């Protein structure tokens, strides 16, 4: 059972994020993408060999047909910069003028 997830991907050097589809099968142990995941993108008119990017949003307002992401390169939670950001999410909680 394949499920379509629509995400927005930031491609290095691109002026804005682009929308792509991610197809996964939860029964086969596959999962959805999350913000921060790095993905391989299919070829297009400008990049004949394809490219890569980072998921910057889950969901899109675009309703048309989408190209599909080739594969997930790296989970966000596997990256050191993401783990450091996640570990610091509650830093300073309960402190300050309004605590």
Taking the model in full, what pTM does it have? 0.74
State the Cα–Cα distance between residues 36 and 30, nearest whole angstrom.
17
Q: What is the pLDDT of residue 38?
A: 93
Q: Which two tokens stand for residue 50?
A: 């394809």
Parse the chain into domains and list their residue ranges: 3-87
Contact 49, 65 (CB under 8 A): no
SS3 (DSSP) at 44? coil
Strand order in the sheet with 38-41: 18-24, 3-11, 51-58, 38-41, 71-74
pLDDT in tens, 10-53: 998 889 999 999 999 999 999 999 999 999 999 877 777 788 99
């Amino acid at each position: 059972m394949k499920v379509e997830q629509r995400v927005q991907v930031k491609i290095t050097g691109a002026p804005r994020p682009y929308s792509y589809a991610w197809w996964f099968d939860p029964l086969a142990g596959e999962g959805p993408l999350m913000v921060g995941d790095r993905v391989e993108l299919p070829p297009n008119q400008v990049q004949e060999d394809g490219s890569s990017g980072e998921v910057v949003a889950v969901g899109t307002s675009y309703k048309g047909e989408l190209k599909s992401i080739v594969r997930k390169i790296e989970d966000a939670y596997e990256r050191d910069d993401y783990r450091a950001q996640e570990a610091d999410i509650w830093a300073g909680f309960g402190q300050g003028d309004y605590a």
